[in-house]
Amino acid sequence: MGAAPCRQPKDPLMYSPTAARAPLAWAAPAIVIMLLFHYGAFVAGGWYAFTDWDGLSTPNFVGLANFRQVLTSAEARAALTNTLLLTFFYVTLSNLIGLGLALMLNGALRAQNILRMVFFAPVVMSPLAVSYVWKFIFSVNGPLNAGLEALGLEGATRVWLGDPDTALWSVLVVMVWQFSGLCMAFYLAGLQGIPTDLIEAAEIDGASPWRRFRKITFPLLAPAATVSIALPTIFGLRTFDQVIALTFGGPGYATETLATQIFKQTFAFGRFGYGAAFALVLTALVLVVSVIQLLVLRAREDRI
């Protein structure tokens, strides 16, 4: 790359003096990769969504037929509702727990480093592995039911993953357990940026702990909240591993998500066109939700 001929600027004023140090050509491989793997693949995938392609024969254009089916079929509706429910509660709960943990572990506690390490540890593990551990905990004769019986709560025992009323919430528990520590880390980083003299000044002025949190700490955590809400939202909308490991979408369609449907329709049933339509819906959802969220959350940050 160093052998590239030195480009002589025709008009020195047209070029920033630093531009010549990093010729655009250096970014060319990455630009080509972006065009192939993101933009090109996106357009191709978008085109499949309007065809009946089965992965082998020539695709035929079918207009909006795939989308009509996405909006009307039972499994597609279940997938959409479940994805939205999971995402909403996952984001809310992991933020509440994460914020609580951060407030609890901010400041001089004995063993605070070890405690932080424990809460963050699940974040680094594969969601698949984590889900298998929980699958055992939730199993019919497993520790959860055994524990409930030991407490004399036989009535509360359930087939957690096999009951349409509890399956989705069991998946949610696994996600919240695994990723609350991530929100904790975001909020801890935010808390460390808040000057202590600000809090102390409010304390001297006689502000109650709740008031200090409400009026100082919480607003100043806005940048941490932005990441802590936006990232889990994207994770939540793409939920796949946990469902595949815990329930495979069942019982019935009780835990089907958009991502599991994309996988099943495309790679298990060979309906590439229909699967692509699903994926396009997921993409649209992620884009709309992310953009709205970022606009709202950034506006909150600007008000600090």
Partner 1 sequence: MNRPSALNTFGRELGALALALLWCVPFYYLAIVSLKPMSEIFADPVGFPDQLAFANYAEAWRGTMGVSLGQAMLNSLIVTIGSVVAVIALGSASAYVIARNGRRMGTLLFFFFVIGIILPHQLSVVPLYSVMRQIGLVGNQLGLIVLYSGLMTPMSVFLYSGFVRTLPADYEEAAEVDGASRGRIFLKVIFPLLAPVTGTVAVMVGMVVWNDFFIQLIFLSGSPAQTLPVAVYGFVGEFSARWNLVFAAVFVSVVPILAFYLLAQKQLIKGFTGGIK
Query: Where in 240-299 is the site for partner 1 (CB under 8 A)?
Result: 240-241, 244-245, 258-259, 262-263, 266-267, 272, 275-276, 279-280, 282-283, 286-287, 290
Minimum distance of partner 1 from residue 197's CB (angstroms): 14
- Please identify which residue in 193, 195, 252, 270 interacts with partner 1, judged by CB under 8 A: 193
Judge contact between 51 and 61, C-beta under 8 A: yes
Q: Interface residues for partner 1 in 55-84 (CB under 8 A)?
A: 55
Determine the Cα angle at 289 with ends 81 and 90, to 5°: 55
| Residue 48 identity (one-letter amino acid) | Y
- For 136-167, letters b (16+ CB in 10 Å) and e give ebbbeeeebbeeeeeeeeeeeebebbbeeebb
Under rule CB under 8 A, how many of the chain's residues touch partner 1? 104
For residue 98, CA distances in Å to 79, 91, 119, 169, 225 come to 27, 10, 9, 19, 10
Judge contact between 260 and 79, C-beta under 8 A: yes
**Cα 115 to chain center, whole Å?**
24
- Please identify which residue in 9, 34, 60, 270 interacts with partner 1, judged by CB under 8 A: 34
Q: Interface residues for partner 1 in 200-229 (CB under 8 A)?
A: 203-204, 206, 223-224, 227
Place of tokens 């004995």: 110
- Under the binding rule (CB under 8 A), the answer on residue 41 touching partner 1 is yes
| Pick 85 or 148: Cβ nearer partner 1 | 148
Applying CB under 8 A, the span of 39-47, 74-82, 83-91, 154-162 interacting with partner 1 comes to 39-47
Minimum distance of partner 1 from residue 3's CB (angstroms): 8
61, β-bridge pairs: 51
Minimum distance of partner 1 from residue 121's CB (angstroms): 6
| Pick 30 or 72: Cβ nearer partner 1 | 30
- Please identify which residue in 89, 120, 169, 213 interacts with partner 1, judged by CB under 8 A: 120
- Under the binding rule (CB under 8 A), the answer on residue 177 touching partner 1 is yes
Applying CB under 8 A, the span of 67-75, 77-85, 154-162, 178-186 interacting with partner 1 comes to 178-186
Which residue blocks in 53-111 are alpha helix, DSSP H?
Answer: 65-72, 74-105
Minimum distance of partner 1 from residue 251's CB (angstroms): 16
Judge contact between 83 and 75, C-beta under 8 A: no
- Under the binding rule (CB under 8 A), the answer on residue 125 touching partner 1 is yes
**Secondary structure letter of residue 158 according to DSSP:** -
| Pick 85 or 227: Cβ nearer partner 1 | 227
Q: Within a 10 A sphere around the Cβ of 128, how many other Cβ atoms? A: 13
